[in-house]
Structure formats: C-alpha cells, structure tokens
Amino acid sequence: MASDGMPPAKRLKSSNLPPHLRDAKRKDIDNWETNRMLTSGVAQRRDFEGDFLPEDEEGTRVHLLVHDLRPPFLDGRTIFTKQLEPISAVRDPQSDMAVFSRKGSKVVRERRQQRERQKQAQEATTMAGTALGNIMGVKEDEGDSAVAMPVEDTFRSGNKFAQHLKKDEGGQSSFSKSKTLREQREYLPAFAVREDLLRVIRDNQVIVVVGETGSGKTTQLTQFLHEDGYSKYGIIGCTQPRRVAAMSVAKRVSEEMEVDLGAEVGYAIRFEDCTSEDTVIKYMTDGVLLRESLVQPDLDKYSCIIMDEAHERALNTDVLMGLLKKVLARRRDLKLIVTSATMNSERFSRFFGGAPEFIIPGRTFPVDLHFSRTPCEDYVDSAVKQVLAIHVSQGPGDILVFMTGQEDIEVTCELIDERLKMLNDPPKLSILPIYSQMPAEQQAKIFERAPPGVRKVIVATNIAETSLTVDGIMFVVDSGYSKLKVYNPRMGMDTLQITPISQANANQRSGRAGRTGPGKAYRLYTETAYKNELYLQTIPEIQRTSLSNTVLLLKSLGVKDLLDFDFMDPPPQETISTSLFELWSLGALDNLGDLTPLGRAMTPFPMDPPLAKLLITASEEYGCSEEMLTIVSMLSVPSVFYRPKERQEESDAAREKFFVPESDHLTLLHVYTQWKSNGYSDGWCIKHFLHPKALRRAKEVREQLHDIMTVQKMRLVSCGTDWDMIRKCICSGFYHQAARVKGIGEFINLRTSVSMQLHPTSALYGLGYVPEYVVYHELILTSKEYMSTVTAVDPHWLAELGGVFYSVKEKGYSQRERRVTEQEFNRRMEIETQMAADRERAAAEKLREQERNDPSRRKKEVEVGSVVRRPPVTGARRVGGVTASSSMRNGANGASGGGTVVKKPQIKRKPGRAF
C-alpha cells in the first residue's frame, strides 16, 4: 500500500484499472493539478469555479451536525477543586518581561530566516539529481551519495563548539579521575552528617532533607538506609522526576556498592523494569510508583520511600505526595524522606504536618548580584554582549549562561564565536552548549577542565539549575527566561511557552556562581522586574498541564470526589472540568462522573487515555489488537524518521515510499512491518533514513504492552489486510479530535472550530484528493497549529462512534429538530442524575436509621491520620454541594498528616457564626 513516489499521471499510465476506476482516478489527478496551480499562485480559486469539485460530489457529500452536549456532573454548578480561578503562567501579562518573552529574541528570529533563505537558494541552484540535471550530465559531489549514519538521539548538529574535546578521554572531572569511588563518596557533604541524619530518620516518620545540588543526597541516602538495616523490612525506593536520572543514578549506586545493575540495585521506568527479586534499592520515576499503588494501595513492599527533587513540583510528584500522606496514616512503619533544594522546603514540612527539616551543609560562597539598569528587549543579544564583557575584563573563572532552549543556545554559541573573532587578539574561550536532547557523551564534556589559559563558557537550559553541578563556575549570566509547558484547555494541547522565571529560580541560578569560590551573577533584567514581575515560586505543573491521566488514576484509586484529595496546590477548576469532559467523551466516565468498566480497563496502561482505549477496543470489538499494539508503540517513542539537513530531499523521498495515503497511523504500521520483515536490521534503517534506536525502543514498548494485555486476558488477534478496520478503530479513540476540510491543506476542528493545518510530513499532505474528515493524534504549535499523525475517516464512523457529539444531517433536518434532540439528551441525563441522587439519599437515610437504633454503629469522630468531615457549622455557606467552611479556606495545608496526629482542644462556637 506504500506509494512508489511516481507522479499521479505516471502511476495511472502504468496501472490496468477498470474504466470506472480510471475515470475516478483521472478526476483525482485533475484535482491534484488544480491544487498545485493554486498553491503556486499561477491561478486563483475563482478561475476554477464550477469545475473544482466533481459534478456529483455535492450530491453525495455527507454533512455532520455537531452537538454541544455535556453530562450533568459538568453543568457548571459542581466544584471539583479549591482553586476556582485559572492560573496564569506569567505574573503580569503586561509587564516588560512578559511582552519580551512573547516577542522572542530578534537575533534568533533573524538567524532562522537567514537559514531558510540559504536553504531556498541552495535548492534553487542545486541541479544534481533533478531531471534537468540528469539531462545536462550534472553529477553530485563526491561522497554526497553516501547515506549519513543517523545519530542515536534526535538533536541538531549544533555542538561543533565541543568538537575539540572529543579527543579527550571520557567526560569526567579531574576530581573524579584522581579519586576512587570510595574516596569520592566520603568527600560528599552528605557523608559528613551521616549519623545525625540517620538519627533524625529513626525518630520521625517523615523528614524533609534540604541540600544543594551535588551534596550527595540522591546517591547516598539510599545507601545509608540500606547500611542501617532498613532493607531487611522492605525495598528502599527512590523516585525521580525524569527517567534518565533514574537510570543513571541507579548505575552509579550499583558501581559504588560493587553490585550488578538489576540485582541489589535496580531501576524501573515506563516500559522498562530492571529489577529482580534480590533488589533492595530501587530507583524509579514517580509515575511508576503511582502505578504500583493501583495494585498495592499501601505500598507494602517498601520500608522507606525517598521523593527526590521534590522542589521541581512535577505533576506525578504532587499527586504522589497527596497519596503518600494517606498511606502514612495507615502504615506507621513506613518512612518517607522528601529531598529538596533550598526552594519550597518549608512548604513540604507544613504539608506533612510539621515534619522536621534536616539541612545538609553546603560549600557555598558569597555571590555579587548585578541587575540590568534598563529592560533588555533581546535576551540573547544581551547575553552575548555580557559574556564577551566578562571574558575580556574579568579575572579567571568559567561562565555559565542560562538560555530557554536548543535554538537559543545554538544562536548564542554562534554569536559568541563570531563576535569573539572580531576582537583584536582576544583570550582563548571554549564554548560548550548543553541541552536535554544532546547525547550523554557530549553533555559530559562540560565537566572536563579546560586547558591552561582557556576559559569555558557553558550555555545551558534550566537543566543546569539543580540537575547538574559544574566546578569552576565563577560567573553566571541569567537571561531571566525559561520554557514552561502550559496547557490550553480550549485547544486541548500542551504548548512550550517562553516565560519569565520565578524569584526562586533566579536565586538558584545565581547560586551556581558560588560553589567553588566567590562569584558574580549578572541578571539581564532590572531589580524592579525581579520584585514585581516574577512569581515567588514557579507555578507547579499540576496547575498548568492536562490532567486526564491523573484524574483517571485518582478515580481508579477510589477518589470519588476530587475535592477530598489533598493536593499541595489544587489544580484549577477549568483544567479539572476539561479533563473530566475528555474522559466522559471517551466513555471512561459515566453520566454521573463515576468510572465505567472501560475506564477501569484503561488504568493498567501507562499512557494517555485515548491510546489505552485503542488497545481495548482493538481487542474487544475490531479484531486488530496486534496491529494496534504496533501503532500505539510507534506513537509512544520519538519520531522514527531521520531527516539530516544536508540530505533532506533524499530522506523525504525515502519516507514517501512508506506512505499509506489515507493514514499516518498506517504509515507507522507499514514502517514497523517492513523493519520486522527485514530482521530488525540497523543497516536497513540507515538505508531508509530511519532511527534504529527509536524503532528498537518501539519494539521494547510493544513487548511491555503485549505483557499487560496478556495479564489483563485481552485477545491478541490480527485483522490481516483489512486496514479499514484499523482506521475505524483509530476513529473510536480519537473522534473527539476530528476535523473537517476547509481549504487546501487546511482543516477546522469540528467541536472547537479551531483552524489547523496538515503537517508537511503527513502522508496526506500534498495529495490530489484531500479527505473531507480526519482524526488526529495531537496538535503541534509552531508558527501555526499543525495536526500530527492524521487518519482519514468516514463521517458515518464519527456519527456511529461519537454519537454524543455528531450525527449525520438528513435532508429536511431543521435547527428546531436539532435543538429537540439535544434537549431530549439533557432530559435523559438529568433523570439519570436525579435517580442516582435519590438512591444515595435513601442509602444515607437508611444508615442514619440504623445508627439511631444501634448507637454502637456510629462512626468515631476522630480517626488516626484522617480528616473528619463534621456537619456544617451554623451559618456556613454551601456552594455547589460543597460547604465553604474552615476546611475549604485552609486549602491543602488544612489537614494534618504523615506524622503524629495532634488532638486540638474543642472550641465552643457561638450560634449563627461561621468559624
């Protein structure tokens, strides 16, 4: 089914089609030619008026009616969270820093445009490989025909500034090269306070450990607990917000303990479990521990749990804290250690009922702060000027520059290099970029000491704030910005926005200059902006990202009312409502907001709810679970297509050979099937411009999902060549993300009316025939809103599978009949809600009657480790079924938990007064 890459006319001429199919194909070719003429600007749409559509198309076109229906529990009267108002990612949207962040860097924008112009000029002048070039005998330059070996990770080849370090061995600092593992361990600040720390842990159930990056808390705490005998009573678990950290730290600890990784020391991340029955120290992502709580609510196999890097306030970290607070009340033998940098430590202590804080002394030195006198409109240009000023006027010491992302870092490095060459005999400067997508071996180069007489300048993202420590940094240049993931409920997508950092982040960045001696920090914003335009703390991820997965998990854990769950910072009402609506539209929740059998079946799968639904429906209804396993696995890894800058046309041609014209999902299936039929060969991947590592990862994910489906006793069947059944199955999981064609390459979302484009890499892009209705996996926001991974669907499928949203418009169907349909739907759901409320009221009345007849059945007012909901105080105001009393005003910190429960004296209250 893959395209052969030939133009439409040539494919038609070489095929033996029946007359009626040949006519249909010819019409497709005519449309294709018309599209090309309109796209190129040779003709305008009015020139083809009356001829653009086939004569019978209007008569056969199916029109869908879109219904704006919502379940009763989302009628706007129910409160799901204590945070009723939405939270902005920026403290003051009209401030100078907020305006500059929206504009972005001018020099970065100019560089981007310059590269695009160079690319266009190169394409216009390069004739090698084209038809005209072949006629004229123009040949490619020697060596151009060789296919470049794809790198293991997807990143731009912009790390040329670190090339001179490749000849050095390893990526270790001089300290680690000169000391044994034992000597390195004993040198860490955490080792010096080992006995004091263990004594505090013995005396308390919960403890907050505060220590600077590099103090040893991540690698040493687990070993201290193991050596003190805690591993005799269960596993010592340590959660990490990032999967790379979980793997790398586990490897380091196994080396220090001189054991095999996966034996006594192991790790577990999504789709990968490197542990055994002998494992006593387990590093894992916080999401893994959340999933384990579904099977083991009290986490009985653990004796101690360490929540590392809690100050980052990742989504799963916040959910896990609320969950562990309840577990601690039920398990008095469980120890919890929350580790944090200097940020937020007091909040963690208050959240866990006044848990003691233990501070690991750090080796810090004073840092002089230098603010900008005027606002810096272009943070990249200002940072480059500041780096050069430090380099030519200040004493020895390396420089650390904080930028927002990969593109900013690359442009900053290029400008420093270019402007340095303009100076007369400047001192030597080694320029080193670092960002998350750079290969680990290149990241490690920043830890090496520069040659004598050479200063290092490291240009980094906020990964250098707390996640790594570089010795020798004496100067910090802080741009004042970072990229933050922010959820847009209206568009249903997460976007990476450049936003001003918080004051806590600014202080953390400045502190990097005082690790090995007195330092200086240059902030590219004014002191007034620091005080008035920056939040005190970064907005937690739980308050600015999609929560569909989290809500499904909490429902599975038995949290019926989300208002009852103890969040440190409650998510906004709008975000919760949007997530509940998505789960209801997928069928995971019923009309009362309770978990359905489908929703319960979705919870074992560690992925977004729509993907989990695909696997379930593929097994139970459509008989294509083998194929869907492959598609979902391919969607769970980075892009498998490799597109080197110097060979983009050749890689695009190779990619087109895999295209299945009606579906990007089927294109991914075709790629995996071909790779499998070629023996999972890396050489075959390189030849066809595919990432071997991404495909191998997809294979591992597929095996893990296969095991989950086997445990859940789900059917594993294949649909053979019936790929329409696969498309219908895809429609069943993504009908809430359906779009209708609006113009050439342009679509409009059926439910939100947001305009969006087909992504240029889509198999549907540039085809002569554009399907009228499609579903898409996700939106990508760059210069426009692009649909990513798109599949053409039959409108009748949308009406059948997403009947709550769509129906086929029949002839003579009026707006009045449409309103009647929606009113009938709402009436049925209101009746269902009323019946459920009557059942709950009857059950409550029966319980009260039993308590009146038998006083011993009454519940105790005080329960250890739990918050008792007493009857509302006289005069308390009831809002949407929730009493707005002191428990609501206290927020997340209103309840005691974790440690010892303190019984407060009863206070007599005057009648008619809310306390």
pLDDT given at position 527: 95
- Angle of CA points 788, 794, 798, to nearest 5°: 80
pTM for this structure? 0.74
**What homologous superfamily does CATH list for 194-359?**
P-loop containing nucleotide triphosphate hydrolases (3.40.50.300)
Among 412-421, 464-473, 759-768, the range of highest mean pLDDT: 412-421
Instruction: Check if the beta carbon of residue 544 is closer than 8 Å to that of residue 485.
Output: yes
325 phi-psi bin (left φ>0, alpha ψ -120 to 50, beta other): alpha
Q: What is the mean pLDDT of residues 664-693?
A: 92
Q: Is the pLDDT of residue 840 over 60?
A: yes
- Examine domains 160-164+366-543 and 194-359 and report if their fold is the same: yes
Report pLDDT digits (tens) over 751-772: 888 888 888 888 888 666 778 8
Provide the pLDDT for residue 126.
56
Q: What is the pLDDT of residue 804?
A: 83
Q: How many helices (H) and strands (E) does the chain have?
A: 34, 25
Q: Is the pLDDT of residue 50 over 50?
A: no
Average pLDDT, the chain: 79
Q: Which parts of 537-623 fold into alpha helices (H)?
A: 548-556, 573-586, 597-602, 609-617
Nearest-angstrom CA–CA distance, 374 and 900 = 52
Average pLDDT for 723-750: 90
Q: Say how far residue 355 (Cα) sits from the centre of its chain.
A: 31
- Between CA 639 and CA 302 the distance in angstroms is 37
Residue 269, sorted as left (phi over 0), alpha (psi -120 to 50) or beta, turns out to be beta
Beta strands in 372-512 (DSSP E): 398-402, 428-434, 454-460, 473-478, 481-488, 493-500
Query: What CATH number belongs to 160-164+366-543?
Result: 3.40.50.300
Percentage above 70 pLDDT, the chain: 73
Confidence of residue 833 (pLDDT cuts 50, 70, 90): low
Second-level CATH architecture of 604-808: Up-down Bundle (1.20)
Q: What is the arithmetic mean of pLDDT over 182-208?
A: 88
In the numeric block, which tokens belong to residue 194?
């080992």
Q: Would you report the helix, strand and coil content of the chain in percent, each value rounded to 5?
A: 45, 15, 40
Share of the chain above pLDDT 90, in %: 39
- The domain segmentation of the chain, as residue ranges, is 8-58, 160-164+366-543, 194-359, 604-808
Beta bridge partner(s), residue 304 = 236, 335
Cα 501 to chain centroid distance, Å, stands at: 19
pLDDT at 238: 96
Contact residues for 779 (Cβ-Cβ < 8 A; gap 6+): 491, 492, 493, 756, 785, 786, 787, 788
